[in-house]
Amino acid sequence: MTESISVRYEENKSRSAAYDGNQEVGYCSYSVDGDVWVLEHTVVDPAYKGHGLARKLVDAVVTAARDSHVKILPLCSYAASLFQKDKKYADVTALA
């Protein structure tokens, strides 16, 4: 199933989104607060859960944040947990 999924960063919508063909099956959205992106929601269609899609959505936003030299405040419970568990996000986290 995951072979047909594409994850795209959509700057104009302040999010990353996952598509199965033309159907949106997940997204990770953020708002901008100065030079910090506030991760608000990570959502994956229940039919697509368990394939690492939520992490790929967060990672797409993280890559864009690194490219834009901004920090991320993960308020979404999934992203907050991910940022706490995995030190690879330490360079972009706005957490104290």
The pLDDT of 80-92, averaged and rounded, is 95
Position 2 scores a pLDDT of 55
Q: Which residue has the higher pLDDT, 74 or 96?
A: 74
CA 29 to chain centre: 7
Cβ–Cβ < 8 Å for 51, 63 = no
The pLDDT of 3-21, averaged and rounded, is 95
pLDDT at 18 over 70: yes
The pLDDT of 37-65, averaged and rounded, is 96
What strands, in cross-sheet order, belong to the sheet with 15-20? 5-10, 15-20, 23-33, 36-44, 71-74
CA angle, residues 2, 55, 9, in degrees to nearest 5: 85
The pLDDT of 11-17, averaged and rounded, is 97
pTM of the full structure: 0.93
What fold does the segment set 2-89 form as a domain? Aminopeptidase (3.40.630)
Q: What is the DSSP letter of 52?
A: S
Question: Tokens 């901004």, residue?
Answer: 70
CA 52 to chain centre: 12
Position 4 scores a pLDDT of 86
| Backbone φ and ψ of 60, nearest 5° | -65, -40
